[in-house]
Amino acid sequence: MIDFEIDPELQRRLDTYRMVAQQIMRPISREYDENEHARPTEFYEAMWAGSRQGGLQVGAERGGGKSTGRTLFTILAAEELSWGDVGLFLQIPNPGLGGAAVMAAGTPQQKERFLKRFAEGRPKWAAMAITEPGCGSDSAAITTTARRDGDHWVINGTKIFCTSGKMAAELSEGFVVVWATVDKSAGRAGIKPFVVEHHTPGMTVVRVEDKMGIRVSDTAALVFEDCRVPLDNLLGSPEVKPEGGFKDVMATFDATRPIVAAMAIGVGRAALDFVRDFLKQRNIEVRYGLCPQRLSAIERDFMEMEVQLKAARLLAWRAAWLLDNGQRNNLEASMAKAKAGLVVTQITQKAVELLGPLGYSRAYLLEKWMRDAKINDIFEGTQQINLLIIARRILGYSSKELN
């Protein structure tokens, strides 16, 4: 039986995150939207202190059949903090996508080695580098190479749109998980993840992107030129076999796509809450329980926004619950991501529309939320890619049979 009940102690932590979102993140949201590449150092320090006492965890061990509740709690926390500001949420020092890749593909020893550093010391980040200039949604077309040379791997290639890439590559004890091919002739099976530690010679941050939304979050382009990493920085086995390689990429996304969905839900909820309060202040009542024909256009629009947000939330919760219980969630993770990405785009655009010129102006955060929303429909697999994955899983087709 699916159970979404949260332990009382975890609920208290969620209440704390709600307070952080409201009292710390919202007040600085506009400032760091307008100053895109400024670093909110005081925010980093405050969130790092909290994360060391039991912060967000991305990814989960498969198997065992017993729920840890960790992923479900993480997506609930992600929603709360993204309600405050989704860009700031992405900048919270934590293992992030890099940590998720370690959890999905690493050995027990590697998990201990690379992730224990996040329990102590100064704020630190981990990023994942997978997208390339000629390889966006088709991650299997990766051209970055890793060649063995003695007791090292030598990595060459370019990666773009790496969330927290600059922080992970340049700050103390961070790392970037780089996906590269060790055998081009093996296709997808030859793709392997490598941990590249901060300040490793040959890894260079060449650009930090200027973006439409989530502007406080750094999104970097990285170049690897004869970048040497130790042999045991390859996560998992170096053996090229059909059941490895690209499947590790997908296992990473199975863990992180529900979290991206939760981020979208947090932004959508922020817009919905704002519209609700705006209508109340003007004595406009949303009358539940009436047939649609008796409702005003505003009431129908608002109720549809609520329904779609709740549907997306339940999909994200289900995907997280499956992962926590050691069950395959590939279909559900893509469903949650696709639904939430579409819904948050629709909700934030409708919210701006309902308020008219006020919604479009910078007087409120609605226009910012509309800009922030769109990325949730793009990164970690676009809407189209996730719908394609959903179709393959439902119809039982392989990637070669349905592309």
Phi-psi region at 73: left, alpha or beta (left = phi > 0; alpha = psi -120 to 50): alpha
Q: Is 380 one of the catalytic residues?
A: yes
Angle at 5 between CA 289 and CA 78, to 5 degrees: 85
**Going by C-beta distance under 8 Å and a sequence separation of 6 or more, which residues neighbour residue 135?**
141, 142, 143
Whole-angstrom Cα distance, residue 236 to residue 245?
A: 10
Whole-angstrom Cα distance, residue 335 to residue 389?
A: 9
Number of Cβ atoms within 10 Å of the Cβ of 388: 19
What distance, in Å, lies between the first and last C-alpha atoms of the chain?
34
Among the listed residues 79, 104, 95, 87, the one whose alpha carbon sits nearest the alpha carbon of residue 127: 95
Number of Cβ atoms within 10 Å of the Cβ of 271: 29
Whole-angstrom Cα distance, residue 123 to residue 208?
A: 20
Which residue in 170, 173, 380, 401 is the catalytic one? 380
Whole-angstrom Cα distance, residue 314 to residue 320?
A: 10
Structure-block tokens of residue 358: 């006020």
Confirm if 125 and 167 have CB atoms less than 8 A apart: yes
Whole-angstrom Cα distance, residue 174 to residue 45?
A: 16
Q: Report which secondary-structure segment, H or E, holds 16.
A: helix 8-20
Length of the chain in residues, anyone?
403
R_g (Cα) of the chain, nearest Å: 21
Active site residue ranges: 380
